[in-house]
Structure 1
Amino acid sequence: MKEKLDRLVDSLMGVLVLGMTVVVSIAVFYRYVLDQPLSWTEEITRMFIVWLSFLGAYAAMRENKHIGFDLLVAKFSPRFKALTDLVGQILIGIFLLVVTYQGFIFSYEFLGVTMPYTDISIGWFYYSVFPVTGILMVTQTVLAILQTLKNLKAAQ
């Protein structure tokens, strides 16, 4: 199930990059070749960038590719290293739960607000990125906590 979800997220990121490339190309063509700039292209491109950034953060999280500073932690015993991983994952989980909860509230509050040129709901298409990717990241964090607990048992 998780593998299918990850493939879906990866495919969505590919579609977003492709869509962004197409929209920016259209914007450049209309602005510099036809001398008729389009107003909606900036809004769509910005929306694609926001979603791509947050989905990319999830992809980096699931592959453990975020920047880390482990100079000190690398010197710990395997058991203490697992304990610090567990504490870190729990703190990350708490933060992500707050972001997800507040994201639901924020996106709901802005459902009726639309972007000026495309008339797309800001709450639905912009701010919904917080609860959607928040749920993905919380799920990944729970899986990481379970793995850390296994590592902690193995280190005994």
Structure 2
Amino acid sequence: MSHEKHIPEDKEPRNWLLHPELVVAMIILLAFLVLCTLQVVTRFILPIPLSWTEELTAALVIWMTLLGAIAVQRTDSHIRVDLMREICSARWVAIIYGLFDFLSLICLGAIVLGGWHTLSETSYQKTPALGISYNLIMSVVPLASIVMAVFLVLNAVRRFKRLKSKDAQND
């Protein structure tokens, strides 16, 4: 009897260099924590509050959130209710996931179009304290949506191929 632990495929240690969006999101999280600490210290301990830390932390939260969404989409690890898998056949689950993927693709397309429109509308605006262009902050929305759409399609194709191979094995 072997005492080796079998690690499920989805729980294997990952090479962080293969997930650059996670690395950047973690760096942003660290910067966010440092800035929040600086903001608390300067506001409540020292009598010199810094206004620019709020702007920068807000921008970092936007970027971190969308980079995290890319990471979740890349690994196809969204929160799911597994009840469908228990009460439906594999074919019906694939059809339902395909429908969700299609609707998600439509939503991501709308976000990309709305994001590009918003960027054109705000191209001249800058943040008050730092003077950073709002386009720099908000450009992550359409860009991340494009990347998420690519991973969405790749994951859907992978699921479809897996279903086809299971069907071929059953025949």
Shared fold (TM-score greater than 0.5)?
Answer: yes
User: Residue 40 of structure 1 contacts residue 117 of structure 1 at CA under 8 Å; is this kept in 2?
Assistant: yes
Q: TM-score when scaled to structure 2?
A: 0.80
Mark the runs of 5 or more structure 1 residues left unpaired by the alignment: none
Partner residue, 1:149 = 160
Partner residue, 2:117 = 105
Of residues 135, 139, 148 in structure 2, which corresponds to 1:128? 139
What is the CA distance between 1:134 and its match in structure 2?
A: 0.4
Larger deviation: 83-92 or 35-44? 83-92
Partner residue, 2:6 = none
The one-letter code sitting in structure 1 at the alignment partner of 2:109 is L
Taking a change above 3 Å as real, the CA distance of residues 72 and 7 of structure 1, as seen in their structure-2 partners, is: closer
| Whole-angstrom distance in 2 between the partners of 1:75 and 1:99 | 33
CA deviation profile, 1:68-113 (whole Å, cap 9, x unmatched): 2341343222222222222221211121111112111212221211
Partner residue, 2:27 = 15
Larger deviation: 68-77 or 37-46? 68-77
Residue 82 of structure 2 corresponds to residue 65 of structure 1: no
| Whole-angstrom distance in 1 between the partners of 2:85 and 2:65 | 29
Partner residue, 1:33 = 45
**% identical equivalent positions:** 29
Q: TM-score when scaled to structure 1?
A: 0.87
User: Residue 16 of structure 2 contacts residue 23 of structure 2 at CA under 8 Å; is this kept in 1?
Assistant: no
| Whole-angstrom distance in 2 between the partners of 1:74 and 1:102 | 38
Deviating above 3 A after TM superposition, structure 1's stretches of 4 or more consecutive aligned residues are 3-6
| Whole-angstrom distance in 2 between the partners of 1:25 and 1:4 | 27
Aligned length: 153
The one-letter code sitting in structure 1 at the alignment partner of 2:98 is L
User: Residue 25 of structure 2 contacts residue 68 of structure 2 at CA under 8 Å; is this kept in 1?
Assistant: yes
CA deviation profile, 1:20-68 (whole Å, cap 9, x unmatched): 1121122222222321001111000111111111111222222333222
Partner residue, 1:76 = 88
